[in-house]
Structure 1
Amino acid sequence: MARITALAGGVAAVLVLLAIPLLAAPAAAHNHPSGITDLVTPAVVRVEAVSHVEITLLDHIGELKHVERSYDLPFASGTGAVVNPEGDVVTLRRNAVNPDDVAIYAANKIFAEHHKVKIPLDYKKHTLKDDQLNHHLQECYPPKTSTATCIIDVTTDITVFPNVSPPSTGLKYKCIKAGKTPDTPAVLVPLTPAAGSVGMPTAPLADKVPDQEGSPTNVAGFTGRPGPGVQETVQIAHLAKGGQAGATGRPFADPEKKVDEPVKLGALVDQGLAGAPVIGDKDGHVIGLLIGGGKEATMLGVREITATLAAAKVAPRRGAIDTAFEAALTRYHTKYYTEAAPGFQRVLELYPGNVVAATLLKTSLAKRGGPEDQGTKQAVAPLSRSTPIWPFLVAAGVLFIAAGGGVYLLWRRRAPDRPAELPEPLAAAPPFDDAGSQTVVVRRSQPFQMVPQQQQVMTAPDTPPVKYCTSCGMRLGPAHRFCGYCGHPIET
């Protein structure tokens, strides 16, 4: 009986324990909340490009001289996004390829400095009044000939500044593929491998541009080199109807017509957000790059980006840093701050400079165990409106009662045989003798009967006499000294 009771109690306890995880378990992973940019901003980088010119002027006027100069001509500053752990970056051609012929600028500058003549310092070819100097100037301009008076070597230095703390001094890159116009994609690769065994954070690329008019997006980029005084700039924008994801891009328009989004975004392009990733509001993936400038800005679609990456044989993919960061980010945005904090700490172990992870870790630690922490709420109040516990408790109670009933029935089945029902006393039976043996009335479901003390029943000669308890009437064994049912002694 004890074993069966324990089994019933154990099953009931299991039901209650099964209910607790359902109530206390945190919400399952889901799409990130609307407007999230955190998946992309760790991979947003500042891109700066400089044309470096080495020029030697061969002065044939008078005594032969070699005049050497070097000039650094910054021509672009914009934004890009890392697309794989190796550190490969996608941006715009204008951020990587100088559209001007810096050799012409260098020729104008060295002639003006050495010969003390007035020549505009620009990218146009000019003439001088002095025929001899003018001849030498024209021979200095590219293209190079056998009679050239200048030897010019032009290289492009591209520096990428990741979003890290402390601020990076910059990583050297080169452009391996670019479109034909300034607002087409360009692919940059580092001259040295990315530091660390797991590489850099990456930005996930979407499959396509949303078709719906008014689809909300976010634009994230840098107006300067990332650092304590320059954080990423994030602006909300909406895709307008029409336009193709191509050279002209997809237009922007505020569906409520409260903000002139092309003008607002065009100003951001001029401030350094050219090539900034446009982030879809649905899942936080990159759907394009910001292009344009002035009073007009549009979006270059993601299909043009992936086509250029394929032509450059660069495969966009996510890495170990991204996996750890996205897991922690899911906990953070569902307000499970206690669980999010170790995740962000792991991200910082993999990539110590991650500014976004460090900021979110600080917030998680500040809110850990507080009133907003959903993990703490579940631990303090396991009852949930969405999953009430009372059905489990009722089921456990029913199971316990059923098990108890089974135990009782089993006990009744194993109980000793009850005495055979005796006939009721005859109406003409003589009255009881006060001096005789005492009789006991036993109350049962059967009619009352009176059993004399140690009444003997005639049996066969070889069968021992059958005895009954004088207290309860139960049948006694031949060797019993006490009643097995009530414990009354047999000999009284």
Structure 2
Amino acid sequence: MARLTVLAGGVGVTVALLAIPAVAHEHPSGITDLVTPAVVRVEAVSHVEITLLDHVGQLRHVERSYDFPIGEGTGIVVNPEGAIVTLTRVVKTDDEDVAVLAANKVFAEHHDVKVPQDAKRHSLDNPVLNRHLKDCYPPKRATATCIIDVTTDITIFPNVSPADTDGFKADLVRAGSGPDTPAVLMPVARAVGSVGMPTAPLADKVPDQPGSPTSVAGFLGRPGPNVRTTVEIAHLAKGGGAGENGRPFADPDKKADEPVKLGGLADRGLAGAPVIGDKDGHVVGMLIGGGKEGKMIGVREITSTLSKAGIAPRRGAIDSAFEGALTRYHTQYYTEAAPGFQRVLELYPGNVVAADLLKEALAKRGGPDDAGTKRAAAPAPSGLPLWPFIVAAGVLFVAAAVGAFLLWRRHRAGGGPDDDQGQQAPPLVPQQQGYDEGANQTIMVRRSLQFPVVPQQQQVLTSPQPTLTFCTACGMRLGQAHRFCGYCGQPIETS
């Protein structure tokens, strides 16, 4: 009976568990919100200090300062300390070419001659000026007519509100071997925020399947009220993806010429922009190329460059709070999401994405679209159907009825219930009643081997009691056949 009960209970629990829907969460398809708070605008210029030693007439020192743009692009923050990954061509150029450009510029301004304003070495018709121009070009020599100092000035503009119009400075920690290879930057001073900056999660690998959907997110200008994050849909094409060659893009439905579209965006400021996987919203690569050919280098090139620079990508406190709130928001639990976004803004007040989502969460909180409100209004707090529990209760009831019926049949057949060890229970011992010592009775007791019984008495019929006689001399009782007293020997008087 005990085994039947346990079996019935197990069946009921199994039925109830099978009725409970599996709870699992995945970020909605195509999500970019995990990455866009960590997307930054990167601008780099070459700062040149040049001194021209004019020996043509009276000796003069002509000092000039020039800033020549190197590149503009997009980068992503990969740890709370503010480490940034972008493309090498955005932040690095040949210093010698910059020096040649500065020499051409200062000669044209000071001597009022026509010298093309480019990074090529030119000649002048005037032999004296031509000799001085040649001596101004690098490399530096003892007869040099120019003293040139070139430095790189990198400015980062984070995705914050209100917009940071000045940005913050960063140093080039490590450059790649080519223009379309990753470069690593570090802020000169501590990054914005007491706990650092938002970071972008890096994927483990690039999706292998051709046609895998992705999103490319970056800035076409400095972030501000009129310049928000630009997000474009793209699909990975088959083949490629190794090293600097990159992996091409191709629309599987052939509705858009994605290489041309993304190449144009790279030229306008999205070079180095993160390519975000559709599965979980992690960075799978960076946008490279330009013109009519936009491609992607994979996440392994990014992590390899970071490793060589001695920088480990990691997530921070801002990211944990933001991802928790984002999960609730995308599952339409707006009431629970709002405090999470408020916490993010306490940690990093300028988080544009958190601020926008907080407004939407507050607007939808408690409304018909709020899943938390729907759950609270439902009659069953758990939201589970009642039929599994009814079925389980029915199974238990039937099992108990069957067990009771089997027990009743065993009792009726004269069997006794066995305990768990199969041992027979000892019968109860009845108590004997006291009897008259003078009665000549026989007591017969029957006991059942199965159940305790009340002792039964049966009286056996006996002959009538004889008349008692006594000795007239000594008073002893005399038997029926005695003729003399057994004690004193007195003869018995008979009639």
Same fold by TM (over 0.5)? yes
**What's the secondary structure of 1:182's corresponding residue?**
coil
**What's the secondary structure of 1:219's corresponding residue?**
strand
Partner residue in 2 for 1:285: 282
1:65 to 60, 69, 77: 60
1:222–1:273: 8 Å Cα contact kept in structure 2? Answer: yes
Partner residue in 1 for 2:46: 51
Partner residue in 2 for 1:133: 129
Deviations 1:132-168 (A, max 9, x none): 1111111100111111110001111100111000001
Q: Assess, with a 3 A threshold, how the Cα gap between structure 1 residues 29 and 69 changes in structure 2: closer, same or farther.
A: farther
1:172 aligns with 2:169: yes
What does 1:240-251 correspond to in 2, within 5 Å? 240-251=237-248
Amino acid in the other structure paired with 1:152: I
Q: Assess, with a 3 A threshold, how the Cα gap between structure 1 residues 29 and 225 changes in structure 2: closer, same or farther.
A: farther
Partner residue in 2 for 1:326: 323
Q: Please report how far the alpha carbon of residue 391 of structure 1 lies from its aligned counterpart in structure 2 after TM superposition.
A: 4.3
Aligned-residue CA RMSD (Å): 2.5
1:36 aligns with 2:31: yes
**What's the secondary structure of 2:242's corresponding residue?**
coil
1:361 aligns with 2:361: no
What does 1:258-277 correspond to in 2, within 5 Å? 258-277=255-274
1:84–1:202: 8 Å Cα contact kept in structure 2? Answer: yes
What does 1:31-430 correspond to in 2, within 5 Å? 31-99=26-94, 101-168=97-164, 169-383=166-380, 387-392=384-389
1:29–1:330: 8 Å Cα contact kept in structure 2? Answer: no
Q: Assess, with a 3 A threshold, how the Cα gap between structure 1 residues 29 and 178 changes in structure 2: closer, same or farther.
A: farther
Q: Separation in 1 of the partners of 2:204 and 2:76? A: 16
Q: Which moved more, 1:362-371 or 1:95-104?
A: 95-104
Deviations 1:417-475 (A, max 9, x none): xxxxxxxxxxxxxxxxxxxxxxxxxxxxxxxxxxxxxxxxxxxxxxxxxxxxxxxxxxx
Large movers: runs of 4+ above 6 Å: 393-400
2:115–2:122: 8 Å Cα contact kept in structure 1? Answer: yes
Q: Please report how far the alpha carbon of residue 116 of structure 1 lies from its aligned counterpart in structure 2 after TM superposition.
A: 0.9
Q: Separation in 1 of the partners of 2:295 and 2:383? A: 45
Q: Please report how far the alpha carbon of residue 73 of structure 1 lies from its aligned counterpart in structure 2 after TM superposition.
A: 1.1
Q: Please report how far the alpha carbon of residue 398 of structure 1 lies from its aligned counterpart in structure 2 after TM superposition.
A: 10
Q: Separation in 2 of the partners of 1:333 and 1:165? A: 23
Q: Aligned pairs, how many?
A: 383
Q: Separation in 2 of the partners of 1:35 and 1:306? A: 23
Any unmatched runs of 5+ in structure 2?
1-15, 401-495
Q: Assess, with a 3 A threshold, how the Cα gap between structure 1 residues 382 and 281 changes in structure 2: closer, same or farther.
A: farther
Amino acid in the other structure paired with 2:98: V
1:82–1:89: 8 Å Cα contact kept in structure 2? Answer: yes
The alignment's TM-score, normalised by the length of structure 1, stands at: 0.74
Q: Separation in 1 of the partners of 2:149 and 2:322? A: 44
Q: Assess, with a 3 A threshold, how the Cα gap between structure 1 residues 380 and 71 changes in structure 2: closer, same or farther.
A: same
**What's the secondary structure of 1:247's corresponding residue?**
helix
Q: Please report how far the alpha carbon of residue 245 of structure 1 lies from its aligned counterpart in structure 2 after TM superposition.
A: 2.7
Q: Separation in 2 of the partners of 1:115 and 1:227? A: 42
Amino acid in the other structure paired with 1:188: L
Amino acid in the other structure paired with 1:85: P
Q: Separation in 2 of the partners of 1:371 and 1:188? A: 46
Q: Assess, with a 3 A threshold, how the Cα gap between structure 1 residues 257 and 386 changes in structure 2: closer, same or farther.
A: farther
Deviations 1:117-141 (A, max 9, x none): 1111111111111111111111100
2:217–2:230: 8 Å Cα contact kept in structure 1? Answer: yes
2:375–2:383: 8 Å Cα contact kept in structure 1? Answer: no
Q: Separation in 2 of the partners of 1:178 and 1:391? A: 63
**What's the secondary structure of 2:302's corresponding residue?**
helix
Q: Separation in 2 of the partners of 1:223 and 1:249? A: 22
Q: Assess, with a 3 A threshold, how the Cα gap between structure 1 residues 398 and 216 changes in structure 2: closer, same or farther.
A: closer
